[in-house]
Amino acid sequence: MTNAQGSSPGASKKTHFDAVIIGAGFSGMYMLHSLRDKLDLNVTAFEAGDGVGGTWYWNRYPGARCDSDSYIYCYTFDKNLLQEWSWSERYPEQDEILRYLEHCAERFDLKPDIQFGKRVTEVIFDDSNELWTVRTEQGDAVTARFVITAVGALSTANVPPFKGLESFKGKCYHTSQWPHDGVDFTAKRVGVIGTGATAVQAIPEIAQQAKHLTVFQRTPAYCVPARNGCVDPEVTKARKADYDGIRQRIKDSFFGFELNFMPKAVLDTTPDEREREFDRMWDTGGFAFWLANYQDMFFSKEANDLIADYLKRKIGSTVNDPTVAEKLTPKTYPYGTKRQPLDTNYFETFNKKNVTLVDAATDGPIEEITPNGIRAGGKEYPLDIIVVATGFDALTGPLKKLGIKGRGGRVLAQEWEDGPQTYLGVAITGYPNLFTITGPQSPSVLSNMPVSIEQHVEWIAECIAHMRRNKLSTVEATPQAQDAWGAHVAEVVNATLMTGANSWYMGANVEGKARRFLPYLGPEGVGGYRRKCAEVAEKGYEGFAFASTGQGWTVHPIAAE
C-alpha cells in the first residue's frame, strides 16, 4: 500500500539506513534498484519532486525531448525491459520519457522506498560514528553509512541577475521550472532569453502559438537537424534482436552512442570529398555531425574552420534575411566546443513575420527587465510573457546546493569555489562513503547519459559490495589520486579546442563561477573511462583509502553475488 505521493507509509518513519540516495531520475532509480534488490541493503531515496523522472519530471517546456536516439536513451541492464518497451519516435518528447520512467518505477517496485516532495538541504558527516546525517527542507533527519548523489548534472537553474526582473508585470518562466499544466501563448507577446539547446527546441514551438515572439540572443548556436520521426518497425525489430551487440558497442564507444570519429583528418580530404561527407552527416541528422566527424575536428583550428564553414553556409541558405542570418552565425568559438543543439525548423522560424531577433552583439545586450517588457540596446520590447532559457549551473551547482560537509566540518561548496576536485568524478577526498553519480570530472554530459549512469551505478554498487565482503567501514579518495586525476582531466582537455569557448562546460555561463572544464573528455571517451574505472577496482581500488572496524555494518545479511 502506498500513499498519494507513492511513498510507503513506513518509509519516512525510519531514521537509519545503509544508504541514502538523493534524486529519483534515471540514476537514482537504478541506484535504488541495485542497492536494494541486488545487495539487499536498507535504502531510501529523497526526491524533491512529487514523482520520479528527475530531468524529465521538471523540464516540460514546449518542444522538450531527448536528443539521444531513443533506442539507446534507456536502461540497458534488463534484457526483458529492452524487449517490452517500444518508443514512438527517434527522439521522444518529455511526456513519453516520463511514462517510460514511471513504467520502470512500477516494474521494479521502486516507489515504496522513495520519499517524494523532500528536498535535501544538509548532508553532514559525523567523524565519531562514521555516519552521514541527511536533512530535508521538510524537516526529515536520517542517518546512513553511504550517501549517493543522483541529482543530475543539469538540474540547478541558472537565472542571471537581470536588473528589474521582479518588476515585470507579466508572467515569467524558467524552462526547467515549467508549470505542469502548461502555458498558453495565444495572442501573447513573448520574449525568450537564450539560444542554447533548450531554446532551440522551444522557440519554434512558441512561435507557432504566440502573437509575436522576440528572441534575445547573447551567443548564436551552431545547430544541426534532428531529423526526428517515427522509426521503421523493421529497424526497431533489428535493434531488439541485436541489443547485446548494441549494449557492448555503446559501452565501448567514445560518447556512449553507436557513433565514432572518422579515422581520417579533414585536412587530408579534397573539397568534394568532405562536402559529400558533410552532406551525408547533415542528412542523417542527430549527433552524427558532432560526434562522428573527422578526427581532427577538436584539435586543429584549421580543420574546425572547414567544418564550421559548412554549417555557416547552411544558416545563410536557410534564413531569408541576410542581416538576420549574419546575426545567427557563430563567430567567436570553434564548432563543437559548446553543447550541440539539435533543431527542427529553428532557423526557419526566423523567417516568420511574427519573430524578431535581438542580438546582444549588434543590437545591444539586455539592460534591464521593465514592468512592461525587456530593454535591450536602449530599446524597450513590450512583452506579456518572458521565457528564461538560460540553462543551468552545470555539474557542480546541484552538489553545492546540498549543504555537504565532510570530515572535520569541511564544506564542499567552499572547497569547490575554484572548481571541482574529484577522483574519477565519483568520489571526493575528505568525504567518506559519498559517491557522485556522473559527477564533475567524469564523462557525464559529454556522453549519452544512461550509458554513463549505468556504469557509475554498477561501479558504486560493486565497491559497496566489496566493502561488505571485507568488513570495511569507510572509503574515500586519497588526496594524491584526486590531484592526479584533476591534472589528467586538465591535460586532456587542454590539448583540444574545448577551452576556447565560453561554454557551460567551462562554467562560463554562471556569473562569478570559476572557469574550469567540468566534465571529462577522453582520451578514449566513455569506453576508455570505463576501462580505467575497472582497472582501479581490479587493483584493489587503487587511489582509495579504506578503514576497517572489523565488524559488519549492514542491517541485512549480504545477498548472494
Residue with more model confidence, 523 or 371 = 371
Segment 157-184 mean pLDDT: 96
pLDDT tens across 81-96, in order? 999 999 999 999 999 9
Q: How far apart are CA 319 and CA 264, in angstroms?
A: 32
pLDDT band at residue 7 under the 50/70/90 scheme:
very low
Q: Which of 134-148, 270-284, 422-436, 538-552 has the lowest mean pLDDT?
A: 538-552
Q: How far apart are CA 8 and CA 28, in angstroms?
A: 17
Task: Quote the DSSP letter at residue 270.
Answer: -
Task: Quote the DSSP letter at residue 557.
Answer: P
pLDDT band at residue 35 under the 50/70/90 scheme:
very high
CB 250 within 8 A of CB 259: no
Give 3-state DSSP helix, strand, coil % of the chain, rounded to 5: 35, 20, 45
CB 213 within 8 A of CB 192: yes
Q: What is the mean pLDDT of the chain?
A: 95
pTM score of the predicted model: 0.95
pLDDT tens across 362-409, in order? 999 999 999 999 999 999 999 999 999 999 999 999 999 999 999 999
pLDDT tens across 477-495, in order? 999 999 999 999 999 999 9
CB 39 within 8 A of CB 465: yes
Segment 439-460 mean pLDDT: 98
pLDDT tens across 178-235, in order? 999 999 999 999 999 999 999 999 999 999 999 999 999 999 999 999 999 999 999 9
**Integer-rounded Cα radius of gyration of the chain:** 24
pLDDT band at residue 558 under the 50/70/90 scheme:
very low
pLDDT band at residue 145 under the 50/70/90 scheme:
very high
Residue 551 has what pLDDT?
Answer: 54
Residue 10 has what pLDDT?
Answer: 40
Q: Which of 1-15, 51-65, 249-263 has the lowest mean pLDDT?
A: 1-15
Collapsing DSSP to helix, strand or coil, 348 comes out as helix
Q: How far apart are CA 178 and CA 461, in angstroms?
A: 34
Segment 506-516 mean pLDDT: 94
- Cα–Cα nearest to 358, from 193, 561, 148, 126: 193
CB 330 within 8 A of CB 219: yes
pLDDT band at residue 550 under the 50/70/90 scheme:
low
Q: How far apart are CA 420 and CA 490, in angstroms?
A: 12
pLDDT tens across 287-307, in order? 999 999 999 999 999 999 999
Q: Is the pLDDT of residue 11 over 80?
A: no
